[in-house]
């Protein structure tokens, strides 16, 4: 089982296929295994070296206790550690939801490692609630868990294990957005932003992409459907974007 080491944390990743190197980063409550389903790998593996990364506290990666490990700069270092482990100077990047946030961190702290940049379901400049401390944060976290019970049963089941604190640290960390918009705007590689047409964040994602002068792609589905069910529908367009960026 392959791992990269970053500041004492083991970051699990899996590699499939050959061709252009492509980092694929999942969202909150998901994992690399969820995206690396056989049909997707078979369809795309001849064009890309697909590098599926387990975020900290997800899948087979470590789950450190300290919040510093979950900060944006540190998460960018997780991605570059995987690239270093594979001997890759640069790679294309595909990140969804929290994976989009991690992508923005790479854009800010390691932009020279990107061949092209594609994120979905993440508005780059996201105004999170200020209530992230003490009892208010605990109340919001409990509300999120109740929503997962109905909207994302798989994610809810994962919370029942010993990793709840790690998931919560990831959730709290995505409120760190300072500098993300400027970093994405300043990228000198091709950028594509996409979002599900029924996603609650659709207008924010589209308007931010437009304000930054970046290409925007509307895809079918809500936040979950766009990645869990409809990826095969629109990924050929994203593959063309990556291959044009070689």
Q: Does 3.55.50.30 match the CATH number of domain 3-128+176-243?
A: no
- One digit per residue, the tens of pLDDT, for the chain of length 246 reads 799 999 999 999 999 999 999 999 999 989 999 999 998 999 898 899 999 999 999 999 999 988 899 999 999 999 999 999 999 999 999 999 999 999 999 999 999 999 999 999 999 987 665 445 555 777 787 887 777 766 777 777 777 777 788 888 898 898 888 899 999 999 999 999 999 999 999 999 999 999 999 999 999 999 999 999 999 999 999 999 999 997
Q: What is the pLDDT of residue 61?
A: 97
Write down the pLDDT at residue 133.
56
Show me where the domains of the chain are located: 3-128+176-243
Query: How many Å apart are CA 185 and CA 175, to the nearest integer?
Result: 19
Give burial (CB, 10 Å; 0-12/13-18/19+) of 160: exposed
Amino acid 156: pLDDT: 73
Kindly give the interhelix angle for 134-151 and 164-173, rounded to the nearest 10 degrees: 110
Which of 190, 216, 240 has its CA nearest to residue 44? 240
Cβ-based neighbours of 126, under 8 Å, separated by 6 or more: 101, 174, 177, 204
- 38: helix, coil or strand? helix
Written as six digits, the tokens of 17 are 């296929």
Helix (H, G, I), strand (E, B) or coil at 173: helix
Helix, strand, coil % in the chain, rounded to nearest 5? 45, 20, 35
């Amino acid at each position: 089982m392959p791992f990269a080491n970053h500041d004492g944390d083991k970051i699990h990743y899996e590699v499939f296929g050959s061709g252009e190197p492509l980092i694929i980063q999942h969202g909150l409550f998901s994992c690399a295994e969820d995206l690396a389903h056989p049909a997707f790998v078979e369809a795309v593996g001849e064009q890309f070296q697909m590098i599926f990364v387990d975020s900290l506290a997800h899948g087979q990666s470590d789950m450190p206790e300290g919040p510093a490990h979950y900060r944006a700069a540190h998460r960018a270092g997780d991605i570059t550690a995987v690239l270093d482990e594979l001997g890759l100077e640069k790679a294309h990047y595909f990140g969804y939801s929290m994976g989009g946030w991690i992508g923005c961190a790479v854009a800010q702290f390691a932009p020279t490692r990107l061949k092209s940049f594609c994120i979905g379901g993440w508005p780059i400049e996201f105004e999170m609630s200020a209530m992230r401390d003490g009892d208010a944060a605990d109340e919001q976290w409990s509300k999120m868990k109740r929503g997962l019970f109905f909207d994302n049963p798989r994610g809810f089941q994962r919370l029942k294990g010993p990793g709840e604190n790690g998931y919560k640290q990831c959730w709290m960390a995505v409120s760190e957005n300072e500098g993300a918009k400027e970093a994405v705007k300043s990228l000198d590689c091709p950028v594509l932003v996409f979002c599900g047409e029924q996603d609650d964040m659709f207008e924010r994602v589209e308007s931010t992409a437009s304000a930054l002068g970046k290409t925007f792609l509307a895809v079918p589905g809500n936040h979950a459907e766009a990645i869990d069910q409809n990826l095969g529908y629109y990924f050929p367009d994203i593959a063309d974007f990556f291959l044009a960026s070689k």
